[in-house]
Structure 1
């Protein structure tokens, strides 16, 4: 589900200064696209993206200073549409008086920052894309293990939350339990977070709800993390077949991002926390170029070749 974002959220997340319109920060932002109104300053409004945040930098404010008062009033009035969420002025510049007057009349806030136009554009875009991205709710547990975002999935009662608790005790960090809100940040990055109502909470059957941050400290939790690996817990059956060498790599797609997936059998006596911890470390080693399966294959080929030469 797409979250709603207000101008107040934008101000808080990006540490923007409220230059004018402090009483109008509840205006809704519906798109992550940000406009730099260059053509509009020349009077071209055929394709004016009024729903976007309007960002003015040195170029736009300098051009505005060279315009006549009447012309500038006309342009700024047209830019202040009912659906326009806010104006942002970069580099600690002062907005034109004509903009201030028109924005106040339309109840549109004017924000300001000392950052350059490129920097504030990047910061606001990243924030809005994360907040406004399409979300998918997934049944599972998300844990940060040595910097690797591991989502643990499996049938209800298989031991996901208990495993997460053991991982937290081993020094890793909990992001979400039971439900993981998943969204695509870019073409290669999938991010997971906890629903607000479940943040920092963990359910253990027989105990109930526990607050991980309260019991283990602020270092035991994170608000969100990139999902790098999916570990699926599956009850052990005699007729089940599980990968023993690591040759059969599975994956699962969320939106446009494909995430590698491994299946781990659950059986009495197996320490799932240590196994998942090892899986995360092995994934990290592979990402850095070391593949234990390839090393084993190379050793096996070398041994076969040696035995063939002896014969």
Structure 2
């Protein structure tokens, strides 16, 4: 899928990329053009990717990228078709390259194209409150409602029969049919991604988007960050309670229910039919299986297999927790 929100400035010669990450002396036989930077799973020939953690070695084994930014220890996991570029800090180098390809993704400035809905083609097609702003190339389906003081920024797509509350900001997002987004939500802003370098934080560009499946509901005051390299995804028929934070690259399966004040850290993947109680926290880069139940207030710091019920901090089998806390 072509990214509808961020322009790709490429292609760039691999020699230009090597210079950017201080690998000027790296020997290349073909100064080929690199057309994009993507994650290990989606990257293709003539693209560059990155590999920074052994958690992703199974994906790295099969990546189709032509080049990969990685470490000396991890490079052995790459296929022969992928040339490793060994650097001191994988994520910093990846950030520099991503910024070169997608310079518009670094800052989250407001949408200069946004104008009052009464000045757009949707003034007679949807029901709306006061002070609603719509950006260029926005798509709104039939039978939609939009509350007061809401901003829907350029290129956002919203399906049929959707209800968007008041004081909502939506950007870099694709929303399917029959979705409700309640008041005071912020969807599609960049995530909490940066690196402290020489006492100055380096902001990591976020070129992913947010995708919300059909028949879902996003409760009041929720924040859903767009992905950094991949997308943040809310599966169909998934309901989020109020004041939930979904960090960048998180993927939640279908038919899941998440209670208020839950926080899910970046790049964690949740299966289908997951139930999470209020104020639970899930660490980043974890995999939560299908049909998992997580009790309120729990702290999840490791993967959870299918059909598990966990509780406590660190979260463990609920029977063991109750036995240990009689």
Structure 2 length-normalised TM: 0.26
Larger Rg: 1 or 2?
Answer: 1
The higher-RCO structure (CA 8 Å, 6+ apart) is: 1
More helix by share: 1
